[in-house]
Amino acid sequence: MDVELVTIGAELLLGLTLDTNAADLARTLASVGARVVRRTTVSDDAGAIRDAVAAALGRSRFVITTGGLGPTNDDVTKQAVAEVYGVRLVLDDVYLARLEQRWRRLGRAGPMPVANRSQAMLPEGATVLSNPRGTAPGLWLEDGRGVVVLLPGVPHELCALAADEVAPRVAQRAGGSVILSRVLRTTGIAESQLADRIGPVEPQLRPATLAYLPSFDGVDLRVTVWSGPRAEAEALLGRAAAAMRPLLAPWYYGEDGADLAAVVLDRARDAGARLATAESCTGGLVAARLTAIPGASATFAGGVVAYDNAVKTGELGVAQELLAIHGAVSEPVVLAMADGARARFGADTAVAVSGIAGPNGGTADKPVGTIWLAGSWRDVHRTLRLALPGDRAEIRARATQAALNLLRRMLEGPSDAPVVVH
């Protein structure tokens, strides 16, 4: 089943915003067997929207628009699409009541602004797709010429509407054929090393195709089956994953959306170990990754962001002499930080990070990107010195992932597999 997207917004054309919505929508649609065959991006201009939607409807009979459903003057998508269908916008009392209820529930002061009322003006005959995350409803218009679905441009609202409201309806029309992907996530191994390992089994994966997706977090391997019934596609993907996984351990940590932080929490729970963190250059990112996982409190005790050397000594009990002799970015200090965090939080295991994220603070000995990691568990200590590329944000993200991976591998037991960084 073919779909066209019309994405709306001056910021998209100006290049100030990347069109992540279009990409998210395309992936969601693929999962239920619909293929995006064309995407048109126009400004918040009623004439341009009308022309683009009418042309897309004529070609493909199924069109999804994103953006232009907000409460302000530059939001004209509803009006433009209503004109394509030759219907009026009318005040929807039920929807208006819902908006007013939401306004009060969020505890906002005074009456709801007039601007919000315009969001209850809906095209006659449109089906409302519920958007509990925002004030703009999704809308579904349909007549003999085909379907136009209007979705809001706010990314998290769009993603939820696409998954919860649009995908099930599209799946029904697409008649059972799907495009399915499965992702095997690895970290600590380079793309070219992975290619050397996976190369020999690649022919066995057909008709599934394989893509390497490197990022700061590692390299994801995506296998895709491009058509067929769901059960058949799932079996193909299952066989492909089974062929690859043995070649990927110990760098493999999970599938699809698996988060390394969640894997660490699982391993810690299995080992009966309570976790703590001590962070310098990552400044709270390791703790933030762990606490992003629901239920983290069962396993994660807490952490210290020891930015100042005074905090390293005062809070974590790092000896003044260690700092004076070796400097804050050193193996002895990062080991003392990890043990200090264990002691301080009464935790069974801790990870510590100290490094130079830049842009300043580098020296010839310890250039920007130098990071020391230490893990402490039972009577085991592990340390790792990294030389990370990139700017401050990249170095912090890479160091955070490497710290979580150190914890994972320590909790999984002894291993000699080498580690590279991303």
- Where does residue 311 rank: exposed (0-12), middle (13-18), buried (19+ CB within 10 A)? middle
Cβ 387 to its own copies, closest distance in Å?
A: 5
CB of 325 to its own copies, least distance (A): 21
Q: How buried is 232 (Cβ within 10 angstroms: 0-12 exposed, 13-18 middle, 19+ buried)?
A: middle
- Select 31 or 127, whichever has its Cβ closest to its own copies: 31
Question: Closest CB to its own copies among 216 and 253?
Answer: 216
Minimum Å gap between C-beta 174 and its own copies is 16
Least distance in angstroms from the C-beta of 42 to its own copies: 5
DSSP tag of 308: S
Kindly tell me which of 88 and 249 has the beta carbon lying closer to its own copies: 249
Minimum CB distance to its own copies smaller for 243 or for 288: 288
The β-bridge relationship of strands 252-255 and 218-225 is unpaired
Provide, rounded to whole angstroms, the least separation between the CB of residue 71 and its own copies: 5
Burial class (CB in 10 A: 0-12, 13-18, 19+), 105: exposed
Between residues 74 and 270, which has the closer beta carbon with respect to its own copies? 74
| Dist CA 327 CA 321 (whole Å) | 9
d(CA 62, CA 4): 6
Q: Least CB distance from residue 87 to its own copies, whole Å?
A: 25
Chain CA centroid to CA 265, Å:
18
DSSP-based three-state secondary structure for 401: helix
Closest to its own copies by CB, 143 vs 298, is: 298
- Strands, E assignment, 243-293: 252-255, 275-279
Partnered with residue 138 across adjacent β-strands are 129
